[in-house]
Amino acid sequence: MKSNNYLELYAVTDRHWLGKQTLFDQVKEALDGGATCIQLREKQLDEENFLKEAIEIQKLCKEYHVPFIVNDNVEIAKTMHADGIHVGQSDMEALDVRKALGNDVILGVSAQTVEQAKKAEAHGADYLGVGAVFPTGSKDDADDVSHKTLKAICEAVSIPVIAIGGITQDNVKELAGSGIVGIAVISAIFAQKDITQATKDLKQATEQMLNDCSL
């Protein structure tokens, strides 16, 4: 996965807004709308159902040629041969994750400071998720990261950085010039009535922001 294109619009699942749909249905709608990466984030599901769901959704992602990332759970990622895993600062150390899963698995790490970012890169991270860049209700454990800090992190590391936290179609343009290669969102996709259209609109806005970055 040498290109960073898969990080442009990184969709993180949340079953909070499922209603009568399944998570599989919602992920398919996001993929139809152009999501470039899917992260399965499960905080309550037991291991057996998590694994079953992960295998089904990764199969779907393969049909769209989109990487499938497991959040936090190294054993699930290893068992099902996930494309990647994302870990936070309070989870397993990136160095240990890399040793457990090998070099072929995409490794993402959350960071809120330049120091954390540099450490994650040194320990084998392939990309960083930095945030929350805007106030958010989706991740109650996310600290605020100023745009100044976001830019400083992008400048301090050579691996790609994506922004996360409270990003919407309306405010994504404010991230132009920060150095990020993409965004990660939860509610901006999965809380919307028309997930496919919301994803299309957000992707278009993100591409415009990234084009503004390169001017």
Tokens linked to 71 = 């959040």
**What letter represents residue 123's amino acid?**
H
Tokens linked to 92 = 């397993």
Is 203 a residue of the active site? no
With CA atoms as reference, report the closest residue to 135 among 125, 123, 143: 143
Whether the CB-CB separation of 56 and 24 falls below 8 Å is answered with yes
**Which is catalytic among the residues 28, 138, 139, 203?**
139
> How far is the C-alpha of 78 from the C-alpha of 66, rounded, in Å?
18
Is 41 a residue of the active site? yes
**Which is catalytic among the residues 28, 41, 138, 187?**
41
**Which is catalytic among the residues 110, 138, 178, 187?**
110
Task: Show Cβ contacts of residue 105 under 8 Å, excluding neighbours closer than 6 positions.
Answer: 77, 82, 83, 84, 85
Tokens linked to 160 = 């790609």
Active-site residue numbers? 41, 110, 139
